[in-house]
Amino acid sequence: MSHRNARLTVHGRRLLIQRVCSGRPVAHVAADMGISRATAHKWVRRWQAEGDPGLFDRSSRPRTTPHRTAPGTEAAVCDLRKARKLGPARIGPILGLPASTVHRILTRHGLNRLAWLDRPSGEPIRRYERSRPGELVHVDIKKLGNIPDGGGWRAVG
C-alpha cells in the first residue's frame, strides 16, 4: 500500500520495471508515467537490489531514538509512582526531569492514571474479559438466606 500522495502504487512500480526491462530508456518511461527521472531510477535501483519486495513502501519510523530516557531512570519513575503514588509534577523535580517526560514514561508503562492502579500495591489493575456473553456471571446480593441441608425449592429464613 502506498501513501495517498504517491504517484505510483506497487502495481505502477511493477509496470515501470517491466517497461524499463523491455529496453525503453528510464527517462522516457518516467515521462510517460508522470514521475521524475530520479524517482524512476530510485525504483529501478531498489528493484535491482531487493527484487519485488523492494517495490513496497518502507516504514518511515526512526530506526533509533538517541535521546530516549535511560531504562534506569524509567525504572526510578515507575518505582516512585508505585510506591508513593506521586504525579509527574512531583516526580519530575525529585529526579531532575521535566513533568512532560515523566508523564510520557508513565503512559508508556501504563501507570499514567492513578485510578488504574490498585491502591495497596500500586500495580496496574488486571481486568479480565471473556470470549462469550454469559461465560462469567457475577451476582451482587444483599442477603443470603439459609438454605437447608440437601437444598430445596424454597429458601427458608
pLDDT, tens digit (0-9, with 9 covering 90-100), for 35-44: 999 999 999 9
Q: Are 88 and 102 in contact (CB under 8 A)?
A: yes
Predicted confidence at residue 8, as pLDDT, reads 87
Q: Are 82 and 122 in contact (CB under 8 A)?
A: yes
- Whole-model pTM: value is 0.49
Distance, in Å, from the CA atom of 146 to the CA atom of 143, rounded to the nearest integer, reads: 10
Cell (9 digits) for 72 = 534506569
Predicted confidence at residue 140, as pLDDT, reads 79
Predicted confidence at residue 3, as pLDDT, reads 67
Predicted confidence at residue 1, as pLDDT, reads 55
Question: How big, in percent rounded to 5, are the helix, strand and coil portions of the chain?
Answer: 45, 0, 50
Burial 22-40 (b: 16+ CB within 10 A, else e): eeeebeebbeebebeeebb
CB count, 10 Å around CB of 90? 14
Distance, in Å, from the CA atom of 64 to the CA atom of 35, rounded to the nearest integer, reads: 31
Give domain limits for the chain. Answer: 10-55, 71-116
With 70 as the cut, is the pLDDT of residue 49 above it?
yes
Q: Are 97 and 91 in contact (CB under 8 A)?
A: yes
Predicted confidence band at 134 (pLDDT cuts at 50, 70, 90)?
A: confident
Predicted confidence band at 155 (pLDDT cuts at 50, 70, 90)?
A: low
Lowest mean pLDDT among 3-7, 46-50, 80-84, 96-100: 3-7
Identify which has the larger pLDDT, 120 or 67: 67
Identify which has the larger pLDDT, 114 or 37: 37
With 60 as the cut, is the pLDDT of residue 157 above it?
no
Cβ burial of 124 (10 Å; 0-12, 13-18, 19+) is: middle
Predicted confidence at residue 104, as pLDDT, reads 95
Residue range 94-112: mean pLDDT, rounded: 93
Distance, in Å, from the CA atom of 18 to the CA atom of 23, rounded to the nearest integer, reads: 9
